[in-house]
Structure 1
Amino acid sequence: MKPVRWPLLLATLLLIGAGRPWHWSLPLGEAPPPVPVGNAMSGAKVELGRRLFYDADLSANGTLSCAGCHEQHRGFADGNRTRPGVHGDPGLRNVPGLANVAWLPRLTIADPAITSLEAQVAVPLLGEHPVEMGMKGLEAELPRRLGADACYRRMFARAFPERRGRIDIATVSAALAAFERTLISRDSPYDRDRRGQADALSPSARQGAHLFADKGCASCHAGRDFSDGAYHRLEPAKATDPGLVEKTGLTSDAGRFRTPPLRNVAVTGPWWHDGSAQTLDAAILRHGQKLTDAERIAITAFLDSLTDQAFLTDPRFSMPDEACGKRL
């Protein structure tokens, strides 16, 4: 009888487990989001990404996790105008929600070059303008910190058998991106109305939906997630945050920012790219449209109908209670 080669057997089992097809939780007939060839979805990868999303060890001083700025009950937004970084650096922009980010063609407010979730991870993790999680220059800390945890070593091995369980910026980013692709919001009253539930929308919200289209709001807030992905200027450029011009160098891009998606918008305030609109009503008024009070109330009711309560409370997106069979 030949001896069992346990390392080889373990590697094979990990590969089989990690390679199981990922099953998307989507409404009937809806196609899944695009997934990069180099980062195929797997349950092991999503599980790892979820744990990393809530782990403050991804920040320089261990005080800030991704979830520290992206809170589930707020649609994975923040609730503050801007969020200071780990060293107290003032935040530059309002934290965006993460609903349906897997479908967004551009992933930041004013950098058209960032088009993948994997690349976007570097903005908070390694960015210096402003400093958020502060890991620039500390990249070697990630494998040291995470690798000291036997459970993390097992999770990386299951998630990345083709990379032999390597722990580094690339695999951390890939796992976080995989988890973020599962943050799907498609069960708001608006969605249920679209699927034929006659009583899903209130009369005011239904009127607001018509006004939203008739008043031209939908020309920029277009598509299923209410963003055309393009850059627009609604106010004069400010020196504190000149917008798209920082990346393009074109003076015509000063003050231009990407149209924000509106999924769960009623719970993601404060609003505007700098969080300077303290109420949703104020954000509507700053678009410069002439609206009666009744029209504004109706549009607000429509925007409120984009809130997906199931998404805000889904336990699959919350902080995990355990890993590797043990409580965290």
Structure 2
Amino acid sequence: MALALSALILTAAVAAPWAWPLPAGVAAPVVPADNPMSATKVALGRRLFYDADLSIDGTMSCASCHEQKHAFTDGNTTRPGVHGDAGRRNVPGLANVAWLPALTAANPRVTTLEAQAAIPIFGLTPIEMGMHGSEQEIPRRLSRDACYRRQFRAAFPDGRGRIDMTSVAMALASFERSMVSFDTPADRGTLSPEASAGKAAFGRACASCHAGLQFTDSRFHAILPVNAADRGLAEATEKAEDEGRFRTPPLRNVAVTGPWFHDGSARTLREAITRHPITLDAPATDQLLAYLEALTDRGFIENPAFAYPDRPCGKD
């Protein structure tokens, strides 16, 4: 009877539709048909996101680089990997990542969060979490944990709780898709007079590229001088005209995600503005900065649902 009851509870949890916490007028993102959202999958992905066992020496988790207080960036120019390899690019934020068609700074072919998960875990240029060549180590480590075994069974009942890198990537992607951020002063229409003026300046100078609800056209542009050490989009396309092109970064929570640009070379948001090919006088720049500050979602960066899960399976 106890087993039957557990199965019933498990089925109910899996069958419950995912409730997207969205404001009126915002459509839910497209989710891969083979990885539907569920509360159990999100809970598993949240635990995996904070688990350093996903790195070769157990020192780096996804959250090591994506810190909630920085809107899931890390406040550094770039981040070295587990072996000390220098990072190439500034860590991107994860707010509303479920809506983004381009998921990396310079590779348009990475279009799903499931595929993106392999880049930090197994990538070689640069080495981040260092698991290349040890692909079976993560399932082995996770399978030793009784709580993980329960969570994988709950999240993937059709696969009977199989623990492999496919299910790990699916769970991580589900947690990342749950990172919804639409509660800023700009969203609520509670802008200060200075920020309201900055919104007008933004519309004139910035909105052609930083467009739409996520403040990005998801296209690739060249703003900074070309650096031979990082060719940007050209590394994926091998086209000369793509040298130095990088994805337009989304601007939600931009005030807390510095340093800025793909290489983290702008130490202040004011510097990032002045390095764009736009013309704004000092008062207009101040107003624009006030508007960009109003894109900060305090609830998002303090939401306990995205924080370290200190009681997985109901235990400390």
* TM-score where L is the length of structure 2: 0.97
Deviation at 1:10? Answer: 5.1
Match of 1:212 in 2: 202
Q: Deviations over 1:157-215 (max 9, x none)?
A: 0000111101111000000000001101100000001xxxxxx1011110010011112
Structure 1 CA distance for aligned equivalents of residues 18 and 185 of structure 2: 27
Sequence identity (%): 58
- Any stretches of 5+ residues in structure 1 without a counterpart? 194-199
Taking the TM superposition and a 5 Å limit, the aligned residue runs for 1:240-255 are: 240-255=229-244
Match of 2:191 in 1: 201
Structure 2 CA distance for aligned equivalents of residues 235 and 280 of structure 1: 15
Match of 2:257 in 1: 268
Deviation at 1:18? Answer: 1.5
Match of 1:117 in 2: 113
- Any stretches of 5+ residues in structure 2 without a counterpart? none
Q: Deviations over 1:120-143 (max 9, x none)?
A: 101111111001111111111111
Deviation at 1:9? Answer: 7.0
Match of 1:37 in 2: 33
Select which of 7, 26, 35 maps to 2:22: 26
Structure 2 CA distance for aligned equivalents of residues 205 and 13 of structure 1: 49
Match of 1:306 in 2: 295
1:77 maps onto 2:73 in alignment: yes
Match of 1:140 in 2: 136
Structure 2 CA distance for aligned equivalents of residues 103 and 21 of structure 1: 19
Deviation at 1:12? Answer: 5.7
8 A Cα contact 1:11 1:161, kept in partner: no
Q: How many pairs are equivalent?
A: 316
Structure 2 CA distance for aligned equivalents of residues 320 and 10 of structure 1: 22
Structure 1 residues 290, 29: closer, same or farther in 2, change over 3 A?
Answer: closer
8 A Cα contact 1:212 1:218, kept in partner: yes
| One-letter amino acid of the counterpart of residue 167, structure 2 | T
Deviation at 1:11? Answer: 4.9
Structure 2 CA distance for aligned equivalents of residues 279 and 129 of structure 1: 27
Deviation at 1:104? Answer: 0.2
1:288 maps onto 2:284 in alignment: no
Match of 2:214 in 1: 225
Structure 2 CA distance for aligned equivalents of residues 171 and 38 of structure 1: 11
SS at 1:94 equivalent: coil
Deviation at 1:236? Answer: 2.5
Deviation at 1:324? Answer: 1.0
Structure 2 CA distance for aligned equivalents of residues 309 and 114 of structure 1: 29
Structure 1 CA distance for aligned equivalents of residues 136 and 6 of structure 2: 27
| One-letter amino acid of the counterpart of residue 164, structure 2 | D
Match of 2:46 in 1: 50
* TM-score where L is the length of structure 1: 0.94
| One-letter amino acid of the counterpart of residue 214, structure 2 | D
8 A Cα contact 1:207 1:298, kept in partner: yes
Match of 1:325 in 2: 314
CA RMSD of aligned residues (A): 1.3
